[in-house]
């Protein structure tokens, strides 16, 4: 770390950010912040600052929070929506006509990006139409009960444009900021004086992309940037915290890391082998050594603070002896005891991300200790992801970000969401898990409106998944914020959204 710190000291003379501006560093640049065309995580994070939704899950408990909506109430299959008094960035009031326009645009079959995903969600929800009663009141008519509809409303609201406006023109939003300019990979937002939550203290938000880990640190140390979230490797965080002008904040997140196993594989289709792999991995040691204790052990997809979390499930602590016994029972005896020959060999595909490679190397060594040979292969993420969708893998480490609505089980564990040769984007069930009982419970979970009823259903799902173990749960990594000491007010959220930037401020301390 000494070269990095020396460079950091040399960078201290770099251009300092003005007091009325906050520069946020990103790993990847947004492609579009238009709610219709967002695709990647950075798109959604910046878009959220410009386009406030009716409802969000920007809460510490991941429960729905009213934003531009004052209330959303289920009445049978339908949902009654009442808007709060809010205005777009041009001062015009937010009305039910704007809500109708937003969903018309998202339901347009020609719209891709986020619109296509939202369109599928609305179709699955049985959404039929909006009935507008007046400027503040409307009813969403659905063909059947659909509990997640309230979180389906978590999309950026757009102002209906004047007649004749080109379809691809950037719409106005009602978020804390408005779009001002884009210079290459740098996006500049300006304070929205009409924001319903109160005009932000900071005039400009600047989102700057720096792809290299060390360069992001130097920008923070040198004063040419103010903060960054989840872009600094845990391997470097302690060095960051030692810098006198910087602060590191961490909070639990809903990001779920797991070992993806191909359940169609001749070896891994045996649940005893999958359980043996789980027992062979010392997750606590990995969290300590590679994540510097900035993670919580996972028992499944939902984090421990989620309203639907079930703690009473099968647990898989570190137990190499049990792992060996399970492998023996599965018909894979160790051919030479403690010798070098493996029971069998698994191909473990990982991305070229430094942290993922470091974790993969340790997991491979732990599996070898119980007699499982590991052929570790490194790929660029695009190539790796294509192989995972095609089923061309045995094992890999993956993440699911921004978990809030437990209906996500349908995307990652329902049998009809397995990617196929004809439809590689059918869903996220890349482990190729099939269980009719889980399929049935997932549908019951989305058709049950009562919160306690839903909780019982998702409890059953978690217990079955922990028993069947289609994937090996690892941990929920903490959100990590690195910031200049003079920057305060930012609220970290479990979903890692950046909406907490609406309260950010700078002190006069240099």
Q: What pLDDT sits at residue 71?
A: 97
Report pLDDT for 432: 97
Round to whole Å and give the CA distance between 97 and 101.
Answer: 6
Q: Is the pLDDT of residue 8 over 50?
A: no
- Residue 363: the pLDDT is 97
Cα 204 versus chain centre, distance? 26
The mean per-residue pLDDT over the stretch 347-369 comes to 94
Secondary structure class of 506 (helix, strand, coil): strand
Residue 144 DSSP label: S
Q: Is the pLDDT of residue 4 over 60?
A: no
Residue that has been written with the tokens 């590689």 in this structure: 424
Beta bridge partners of residue 483, listed in sequence order: 227, 247
Predicted confidence at residue 435, as pLDDT, reads 98
Dihedral (CA of 78, 83, 84, 89) sign: positive
- Least confident segment among 139-153, 230-244, 255-269, 325-339: 230-244
Q: 287-300: per-residue pLDDT in tens? A: 999 998 999 999 99
pLDDT at 10: 40
Whole-number average pLDDT of the chain = 92
What percent of the chain has pLDDT above 90? 76
Tens of pLDDT, residue by residue over 210-225, are 988 889 989 998 999 9
- Sign of the C-alpha dihedral, residues 217, 223, 225, 226? positive
354 vs 143 pLDDT, higher one: 143
- How far CA 336 is from CA of 68, 244, 322, 366, in Å, comes to 66, 55, 18, 18
Structure token digits, residue 317 = 């602590």
pLDDT for 13: 41
CA distance 391 to 263: 10
CA–CA separation, 155 vs 159, rounded Å? Answer: 13
42 vs 238, higher pLDDT: 42
Q: Tokens 């900071």 identify what position?
A: 202
Confidence at residue 33, expressed as pLDDT on a 0 to 100 scale = 94
Half-sphere exposure of 278 (CA within 13 A, CB side): 28
What pLDDT is stored for residue 122 in this prediction?
83
Q: pLDDT tier at 423 (50, 70, 90 boundaries)?
A: confident
Average pLDDT for residues 318-335, to the nearest whole number? Answer: 97
| Of residues 113, 107, 116, 122, the one with CA closest to residue 152 | 122
Largest CA distance in the chain: 78
Locate the DSSP E strands across 19-148: 21-26, 55-56, 65-66, 69-75, 78-83, 127-132, 137-142
What domains, with CATH codes, occur in the chain? 2-9+17-27+176-253+479-506 (3.40.190.10), 46-152 (3.90.76.10), 256-477 (3.10.105.10)
The pTM (predicted TM-score) of the whole model is: 0.88
**For residues 100, 101, 102 and 103, what is the CA-based torsion angle, rounded to 10 degrees?**
50
Q: With bands split at pLDDT 50, 70 and 90, how would you rate the model's confidence at 167?
A: confident
Residues paired with 156 in a beta bridge = 53
Q: Do 272 and 326 form a contact (C-beta atoms < 8 A)? A: yes
pLDDT value for 225? 96
The mean pLDDT value for 180-206 works out to 96
> Other CB atoms closer than 10 Å to residue 64's CB: what's the count?
21
Q: For residue 120, is pLDDT > 70?
A: yes
Is pLDDT of 2 > 90? no
Write 282-289 long-range contacts (CB < 8 A, 24+): 282/318, 282/366, 283/318, 283/474, 283/475, 284/318, 285/318, 286/359, 286/362, 286/363, 286/474, 286/475, 287/475, 289/362
Q: How far is CA 384 from CA 40, 349, 395, 508, in A?
A: 17, 7, 11, 47
For the cut 90, the answer to whether the pLDDT of residue 232 exceeds it is no
Angle at CA of residue 483, ends 478 and 487, nearest 5°: 125
The four Cα atoms 411, 414, 419, 423 give a dihedral, to 10 degrees, of -80
Mean pLDDT of 377-406: 92
Q: Distance between CA 278 and CA 481 in Å, rounded?
A: 30
* Rounded CA separation 432/260 (Å): 10
CB 22 within 8 A of CB 227: yes
Instruction: Return the percentage of the chain with pLDDT > 70, whole number.
Output: 96
Q: HEC string of 207-230?
A: EEECCCHHHHHHHHHHCCCCEEEC
- pLDDT range class, residue 509, cuts 50, 70, 90: low
Residue whose structure tokens are 């238009």: 34
Identify which of 385, 349, 381, 346 has the alpha carbon closest to the alpha carbon of residue 366. 346
Q: pLDDT of 142-154, one tens digit each?
A: 999 999 999 999 9
pLDDT-derived band at 5, boundaries 50, 70, 90: very low
Better-predicted residue by pLDDT, 13 or 352: 352
Say if residues 230 and 26 touch (Cβ distance below 8 Å).
no
One DSSP character per residue, 422-442 reads S-TTS-S-TT----HHHHHHH
pLDDT band at 15 (very low <50, low <70, confident <90, very high): low
- Give yes or no for a contact between 231 and 29, defined as CB atoms under 8 angstroms apart: no
Alpha-carbon distance 248 to 230, whole Å?
Answer: 11
Helix axis angle, 234-241 to 2-10, nearest 10°: 50
Cβ neighbours for 168, distance < 8 A, ≥ 6 positions apart: none
Phi, psi of 284 (to 5 degrees): -65, -40
């Amino acid at each position: 770390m000494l070269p990095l710190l020396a460079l950091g000291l040399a960078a201290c003379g770099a251009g300092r950010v003005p007091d009325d501006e906050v520069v946020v560093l990103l790993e990847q640049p947004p492609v579009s912040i238009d709610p219709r065309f967002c695709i990647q995580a950075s798109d959604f994070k910046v878009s959220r600052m410009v386009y406030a939704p009716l409802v969000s899950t920007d809460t510490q408990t991941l429960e729905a929070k009213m934003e531009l909506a004052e209330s959303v109430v289920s009445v049978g299959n339908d949902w009654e929506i009442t808007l709060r008094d809010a205005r777009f960035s041009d001062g015009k009031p937010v009305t039910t006509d704007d809500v109708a326009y937003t969903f018309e645009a998202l339901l347009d079959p020609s719209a891709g990006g986020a619109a296509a995903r939202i369109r599928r969600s609305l179709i699955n929800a049985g959404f039929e139409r909006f009935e507008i009663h007046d400027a503040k009141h409307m009813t969403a008519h659905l063909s059947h009960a659909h509990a997640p509809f309230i979180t389906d409303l978590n999309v950026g609201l757009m102002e209906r444009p004047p007649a004749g406006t080109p379809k691809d023109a950037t719409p106005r939003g009602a978020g804390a900021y408005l779009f001002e300019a884009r210079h290459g990979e740098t996006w500049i937002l300006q304070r929205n004086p009409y924001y319903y939550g109160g005009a932000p203290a900071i005039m400009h938000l600047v989102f700057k992309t720096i792809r290299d880990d060390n360069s992001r640190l130097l920008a923070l140390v040198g004063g040419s940037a103010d903060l960054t979230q989840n872009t600094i490797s845990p391997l470097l965080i302690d060095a960051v915290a030692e810098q006198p002008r910087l602060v590191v904040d961490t909070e639990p997140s809903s990001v779920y890391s797991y070992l993806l196993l191909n359940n169609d594989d001749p070896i891994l289709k045996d649940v005893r082998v999958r359980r043996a792999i789980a027992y062979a991995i010392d997750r606590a040691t990995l969290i300590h050594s590679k994540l510097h204790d900035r993670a919580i052990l996972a028992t499944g997809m939902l984090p421990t603070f989620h309203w639907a979390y079930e703690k009473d499930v099968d647990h898989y602590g570190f137990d190499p002896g049990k792992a060996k016994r399970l492998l023996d029972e599965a018909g894979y005896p160790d051919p030479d005891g403690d010798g070098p020959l493996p029971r069998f060999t698994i191909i473990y595909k990982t991305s070229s991300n430094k942290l993922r490679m470091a974790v993969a190397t340790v997991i491979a060594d732990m599996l070898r200790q119980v007699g499982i040979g590991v052929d570790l292969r490194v790929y660029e993420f695009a190539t790796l992801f294509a192989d995972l969708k095609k089923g061309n893998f045995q094992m890999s480490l993956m993440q699911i970000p921004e978990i809030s609505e437990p209906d996500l089980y349908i995307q990652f564990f329902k049998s009809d969401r397995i990617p196929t040769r004809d439809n590689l984007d059918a869903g996220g069930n890349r482990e190729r898990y099939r269980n009719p009982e889980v399929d049935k419970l997932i549908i019951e979970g989305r058709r049950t409106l009562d919160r306690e009823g839903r909780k019982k259903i998702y409890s059953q799902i978690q217990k079955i998944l922990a028993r069947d173990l289609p994937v090996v749960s690892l941990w929920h990594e903490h959100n990590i914020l690195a910031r200049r000491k003079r920057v305060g007010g930012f609220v970290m959220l479990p979903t890692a959204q950046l909406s907490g930037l609406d309260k950010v401020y700078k002190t006069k301390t240099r």
